[in-house]
Amino acid sequence: MRASLRHHLWAELRRGRARGLLRTGWRALAARHDLRLPARWDGPLLATLAVTYRCPLSCRACPVSRRAGAEMPDAALADWVDAIADLAPAGLGFTGGEPLLRRATLPAIEQAVRRRLLVHLNTSGLPIATPDAAARLLQSGVASINVSVDHPAAKVHDLLRGRDGSQRAALRAVELLAAARGQAGGRPRIQVVMAVAAATLDAVPALERLARAAGADALSLIPVHDFASAASRRAPWPRGRAPLPAPLRRARLENSRQYLRGILPFLEGAATPAGCSARRSALYVDPGGRVFPCTPAASAGGPGATATPTTLAALFRSGRLEQAVRPDLCGRCWWNCHRELDIALGRM
Ligand code: SF4
Ligand code: SF4
């Protein structure tokens, strides 16, 4: 079992949330076998709320920051948090763009924590520039934070992310968060996430050392996705166990071995396996209130499904959200949260 999953399971058990874990167990079984549960048990395992697509960075392959447009008002954000909490997912991730650019994000995280959700945050780290900003974020009750760093060499990261000084700022954010959390560790779990390309695989061990030195609990990888490219993938997915590239063997990474084995074939253009559970196990709400089954479908910019906070549960339970899955994307998707979930569920 991955360290982050073990960490959160124990934390939830210690908090006396056995009933929520039982519901998660039923949902995991249903997602594994493509079954629909009775309405009162049905809901996503993972929910994501993108609060803004604005971002201080301009990463080369970013599909969303150039699309920043209308955002739901703060009051509507609170309604969406409540609507998602009513569906009782095992976790709710706040993402962007850079979610901490919105003042309303921290109150929304606090609201989700009050609703007993396990809250995760993706950030570039840039808004966490002072000890006060780190302490304020930790006070929100967030359970897990991912900070993006793509390379141990600052100039390479800065080039990939389109802003000078952004690698130093991201690692400084990790240091501040780790210091605010204290030596004892525990919550929140702090991870550095590297968007890795074939040309940067060799840098993984050095980045792992840098991330841990800054105070992160782990380094996690996701291969760079280019959803804008319509290039077809013809290489077959490796049968059996693909070899683990040497740099990935030399680093202690958060990802499962099976996921790591898929990274190089994915980067080399192999078509990824079908059968992802996201259409049953996940839910993504974009800054304008459009609903998607998964992060890649939202990132690729399809129309999604229309819902309001009051109709979200009905939409999810009707199965209509499945129609917003983009089968054309599935063969070129090795998205970490969804594919790792399928690996954990034994679907792959
Ligand atoms: S940090 Fe994320 S949202 Fe911002 S430009 Fe990079 S990929 Fe896009
Ligand atoms: S695009 Fe990716 S995450 Fe979405 S349904 Fe397809 S395989 Fe799953």
**The pLDDT value given to residue 15:** 72
**What pLDDT score does 5 carry?**
66
Of 166, 168, 187, 167, nearest in space to 177 by CA: 187
C-alpha distances (whole Å) from 129 to each of 162, 173, 198 are 18, 6, 31
Hey, which of 65, 95, 157, 222 would you mutate to test ligand 1's pocket, going by the most ligand atoms within 8 Å of its Cβ? 65
d(CA 263, CA 198): 9
For residue 289, the CA-to-ligand 2 centroid distance in Å is 20
CATH number for 241: 3.20.20.70
**Cα 100 to Cα 238: distance, rounded to the nearest angstrom:** 40
In whole angstroms, how far apart are CA 194 and each of 136, 152, 204, 210? 25, 10, 8, 12
The CA 334 to ligand 2 mean position distance, Å, reads 8
pLDDT value of residue 231: 65
311, with CB counted inside 10 A (0-12, 13-18, 19+), is middle
In terms of DSSP H, where are the helices of 33-100? Answer: 74-86
- DSSP assigned state of 163: -
pLDDT value for 164: 97
Token digits of residue 323: 């129609």
User: Which ligand is nearest the CA of 281, by number?
Assistant: 2
Q: Which atom of ligand 1 is nearest to the CA of 57?
A: 5
How confident is the model at residue 328, as a pLDDT?
Answer: 84
- 145-184 pLDDT, tens digit per residue, is 999 999 999 999 999 999 999 999 999 999 999 999 985 5
The reply to whether ligand 2 has any atom less than 6 angstroms from the CB of 262 is no
Distance from residue 152's CA to the centre of ligand 2 (Å): 30
**Contact between 95 and 54 (Cβ < 8 Å):** no
The whole-model pTM stands at 0.93
Identify the segments of the chain with pLDDT beneath 50. none
Instruction: Express each pLDDT in 53-82 by its tens digit.
Output: 999 999 887 878 777 788 999 999 999 999
Domain of residue 189, residue span = 3-344
DSSP code of residue 148? E
Question: How many domains does the chain contain in total?
Answer: 1
- Can you read off the two tokens belonging to residue 321? 């959200």
Q: Residue 266: CB within 6 Å of ligand 2?
A: no
- Give the ligand at the shortest distance from the Cα of 162: 1
**Can you read off the two tokens belonging to residue 324?**
């917003």
The pLDDT, as a whole number, for residue 211 is: 98
| pLDDT attached to residue 62 | 83
Q: For residues 315 and 322, what is the distance between their CA atoms, to the nearest angstrom? A: 10
Q: How far is the CA of 329 from the centre of ligand 2 (A)?
A: 7
DSSP annotation of 44 reads -
Q: What are phi and psi for residue 8, nearest 5 degrees?
A: -70, -35
Question: How buried is residue 184: exposed, middle or buried, by Cβ count under 10 Å (0-12/13-18/19+)?
Answer: exposed
Ligand 1: residues with CB < 6 A are 55, 57-59, 62, 64-65, 96-98, 124, 148, 161
From residue 130, alpha-carbon distances to 133, 136, 180, 192 in Å are 5, 10, 10, 18
The pair of three-digit structure tokens given for residue 21, joined into one six-digit string: 């874990």
pLDDT at 100: 98
- Biggest CA pair distance of the chain: 53
Q: How many helices (H) and strands (E) does the chain have?
A: 15, 9
Q: How far is CA 8 from CA 1, 51, 89, 134, 181, in A?
A: 11, 24, 14, 21, 16
pLDDT at 238 (0 to 100): 87
Nearest ligand 2 atom, CA 272 = 7
Ligand 2 probe mutation, 329, 340, 348, most atoms within 8 A of CB: 329
